[in-house]
Amino acid sequence: MRSRDKRVIDMINAGAYYSANQAGVYGKPNMDIAQMGVAGAASTDMMESELALQNGKINRQQYEEQIADTYRATAEAVIANYINMGIDVVKNFVEAKLPILIPILEPVVAAIKTYINPVVSKVVDGGRKTFNWIKDKLKKLL
C-alpha cells in the first residue's frame, strides 16, 4: 500500500496528466482516467528515484533497479486495466444479448478479475527476465 503522501502526489500528477490530455498535449483524446492514474503514480516513483539519486541516497544501480520496477508495475497496471475493460465489454454485450446468463456471468467475471493481476504479473516478469537474458547475451557478444 502506498503512503498517504505518495497517494496525494500521485493524484496531483494524475490531475496534471488529465489537464494535459484535455488540452490535447498528452495521450490520445479522452484517455481513460485509470491510465492517467497509472501515469501519475509512475511519474511519482520516477521523480522520487531521481531525487534520491541526485541527493546521494541511492547509487546508480539502485536507481536503475527502481526505474525498472516502476516500468514493470506500470506495465502490469496498464495491461490489467485493458484486460478488465475487455472483460467488461464482453460482459455487457452478453448481458444485453442473453440476459438469462446474468446469474452465471457475474461469478465467472468476478473470478476472472480476481486472477488477472497475478497472471499479468507473471507474464510481465517473464518478459522482463527474457529481455534481461537477451541483453546479457548481447553484451557478451559485443
Which pLDDT band holds residue 1 (cuts at 50, 70, 90)? low
Looking at residue 50, its pLDDT comes to: 92
Residue 49 identity = S
Q: How far apart are the first and last CA of the chain?
A: 42
Looking at residue 105, its pLDDT comes to: 86
Q: Where are the domains positioned within the chain?
A: 1-58, 75-142
Q: What's the average model confidence in pLDDT over 56-73?
A: 91
String of b and e for 61-70 (b: at least 16 CB within 10 Å)? eebeebbeeb
For residue 50, give the nearest of 67, 75, 74 by alpha carbon: 67
**CA dist 125 → 40, 45, 117, 129, 132 (Å):** 22, 19, 12, 6, 10
**pLDDT of 14-34, one tens digit each?**
888 788 878 888 777 777 777
Residues 66 and 49: beta-carbon distance below 8 Å? yes
Looking at residue 57, its pLDDT comes to: 96
For residue 39, give the nearest of 11, 2, 59 by alpha carbon: 11
Q: For the chain, give the percent of residues with pLDDT over 70.
A: 98
